[in-house]
Structure 1
């Protein structure tokens, strides 16, 4: 495969300084500190997170060694990203690059945005966050509550695509001297936060006794900072890197970019803040493993972790299974469950994403029935050449509220009256522009043989389900199932 042509600012221009050289260290340094009895503000509560021993799952999995987790969701913003947000603010202020009254702009999957929002709120900055659409509603709601402006962007298909969150953030600061982008993917303060502080916490908490460290990828900040410092202080330590299936970080020259549901981990480049040569061994986690092990940590250890923690912990379990009782494994839990209450914590969401089976025996009236039993009529469709005005006129004249939009024989989205109305009211679209910019992305297509049990669960959280079966296109609404039930003399 040809070498990927990344923007060098984001991936290839690495810091050349290393410990033991005679050159002057170009980086600032911070020292670990304890949390005061009374914090001056919420930022004083960042860090000093607990390490907790795993007990029940080790017995279930037949693990003999000591398996530990460092719970970064104990940080006040709920994730490990609180550490880098504070460090970036501290360093940028010390360098005179930012000052209160300015607006911070950052591309983020959400957690760094929340960490930055804590700093912005305390220190008197504005904040604008560029965040992909797949990130949870909880993250968006928390950011809004903290006063951040949110720009939702497409998911990461092509790095630095004009619409991608990195590019949108860069465009926002280019011509405005009152705006500044810390750039977690570029900023040395990211790994330094972990090199100076988090790694020292771990070393002190474990009295320097650690055999394996398990960390997940993302910006690579904590992978880089922790690995470098702990390799310096604990000769012989093994670093285990965890990457989601579909991410290229573990093998950027050969892996095809793919989609995955876990948030805030992996990526479509190897960021400048990721030193993947520090990793001794890689484990690749898929969504099923990721969310199953997140739910196990919640259910059997009482640890209210997020989805990325499941990926790390699954890998840690695989490592620990082959070790004798004298060994010690530590896995870093990046964030907590708060941001995912509408996602993997929900049985419905797991079923809707084909990660959990449906118990049809509890759905007696539709057990064994499929979409075909609903006798759905073929839906009206249109193309992205239609204007918003034309789509509204079609809806009114045909008494429908949703129209699938087709391009090259594929459904590229659904035009829905509620969303179109809202976008017009807010001034985000005009009547005479293409309907393309107002479409709802189709999360899942169903077939005629899809069970009604699944469709029933899907419709608990979605307005409609989209049938795309050969050349048949149709929409299923809750009322369609109501008609079937009425016909069954419910």
Structure 2
């Protein structure tokens, strides 16, 4: 039994899709991140009930933070991305959060950077407001500790491959860090969309893929670049085909980040012949509801992934091109410059 809905949403399910291939499936992954961060900040005396917790979000973290605030008695203020829809905005408002949603621009970097600047302005104007820094503080790693322990217990293997979107760095970074700390040899494959600055693909345009959530338009300070073994860049068409195949073949209804992770995970697992002794686990961070029109309508139009020629192996950013590339990052990626912080 759970005392709050946030506690229930924070519990992922490990699902075996076929031998050697598993998904760690969340209904709303950022809940585990927000709860862990709020609980740690409370324990450290940084925040106190009655304070206002503030952050920028493209949607999922906003909902997570609003739930954490309701559970622990904080006020919540969200600087929302233009892609936050009416259904989520209504939930936030009923949960007691205040929402500021700036107009969209044609530049994701301007959108993300502008929202963070609005957060800083809000905190400066409002005593008792605390910026949660979901993009910039590794305190968001802490919530993934229990999920990693549960996965270890269920799989009971000395090594595994973990696949998932990089995004703000907290989910895959937090899971891999915890697994390694507890003795599991976890090889970490991070996924980026083209157009993201985090791993230097900002000059490769994929107009159909919104980078929010999976990639970044600004520097994300909590990404541990030394945590990743491989980086895969994948475009909208391949991520969409992964989402549709994941639902069609396994009944898992999830979004584009999950579709991209499924595509990479199945490619990786096939190299071991889908063997439970070498499990590949990919992260499914949320459901597919907000992707119904962009992903799941006309499913027969999805492209068939060409795994004979892709992923294309690259060694520097100038070689990147659609639809799918990978590099042996080796936990340092010396040929791929990291963005500098603006905040």
Under a length normalisation based on structure 2, what TM-score does the superposition of the two structures give? 0.78
- 1:338 and 1:301 map into 2 onto residues whose CA distance is 17
Give the structure 2 partner of residue 330 of structure 1: 281
* Aligned residue runs from structure 1 range 211-360, under 5 A: 211-234=160-183, 236-250=185-199, 252=200, 255-256=202-203, 258=205, 259=207, 260-261=209-210, 263-324=212-273, 325=275, 326-347=277-298
- Runs (4+) off by over 4 Å: 158-163
Equivalent position to 2:44, from 82, 95, 98? 95
- Per-residue deviation, 1:148: 2.2
Q: Give per-residue Cα distances to partners, 1:80-138, cap 9 Å, x unaligned.
A: 10011111211222233322333221111111110111122233322221122134444
Alignment of 1:81-160 (within 5 A): 81-153=30-102, 154=104, 157=107, 159=109
Against the structure 1 CA distance between its residues 147 and 245, is the aligned structure 2 distance closer, same or farther, given a 3 Å change threshold?
same
User: Aligned residue for 1:47?
Assistant: 10
Q: Does the alignment pair 1:176 with 2:126?
A: yes
| Unpaired stretches in structure 1, ≥5 consecutive residues | 1-37, 56-64, 74-78, 358-490
User: Which secondary structure does the structure 2 equivalent of 1:237 belong to?
Assistant: strand
Kindly name which structure, 1 or 2, has the bigger radius of gyration based on alpha carbons: 1
Higher relative contact order (CA 8 A, sep 6+): 2
Q: Which residue of 1 aligns with 2:337?
A: none
What CA distance in whole angstroms lies between the structure 2 residues aligned with 1:162 and 1:299? 34
The CA deviation at 1:263 is: 4.1
1:338-487 alignment, distance < 5 Å:
338-347=289-298
Could you tell me whether the CA contact under 8 Å between 1:105 and 1:129 is conserved in 2?
A: yes
1:187 Cα shift? 2.2
Contact 2:113 2:217 in 1 (8 A): no
Judged with a 3 Å threshold, the aligned counterparts in structure 2 of structure 1 residues 142 and 308 are, in CA distance, closer, same or farther, namely farther
- Measured in 2, the distance between the counterparts of 1:146 and 1:296 equals 35
Q: Cα distance 1:330–1:210, how it changes in 2: closer, same or farther (>3 A)?
A: farther
Mapped partners of 1:339, 1:212: distance in 2 = 28
Give, in whole Å, the separation in 1 of the partners of 2:261 and 2:166: 9
| 1:385-428 per-position Cα deviation (integer Å, ceiling 9, x unaligned) | xxxxxxxxxxxxxxxxxxxxxxxxxxxxxxxxxxxxxxxxxxxx
Distance 1:156 1:201 in 2: 42
Q: Distance in 2 between matches of 1:155 and 1:125?
A: 31
Residues 281, 304 of structure 1: CA spacing in aligned structure 2 closer, same or farther, 3 A cutoff?
Answer: same
Indicate the residue corresponding to 2:324 in structure 1.
Answer: none
**Secondary structure of 2:21 counterpart:** strand
Q: 2:111, 2:291 → 1: CA distance?
A: 27
For structure 2, list consecutive stretches of 5 or more residues without a partner in the other structure. Answer: 304-343
| Matches for 1:13-52 after TM superposition, within 5 Å | 38-52=1-15
Alpha-carbon displacement from aligned partner over 1:212-257 (angstroms, at most 9, x marks no partner): 111211110112222222234445432111111111322x3x7426
Match of 1:10 in 2: none
The match for 1:189 is 139
RMSD: 2.7
46-55 vs 296-305, which moves further: 46-55
Q: Which residue is equivalent to 1:381?
A: none
Give, in whole Å, the separation in 2 of the partners of 1:47 and 1:328: 23
DSSP 3-state at the match of 1:84: helix
- Counterpart of 1:68 in structure 2 is 22
Give the TM-score, by structure 1 length: 0.56
Q: Distance in 2 between matches of 1:223 and 1:94?
A: 24
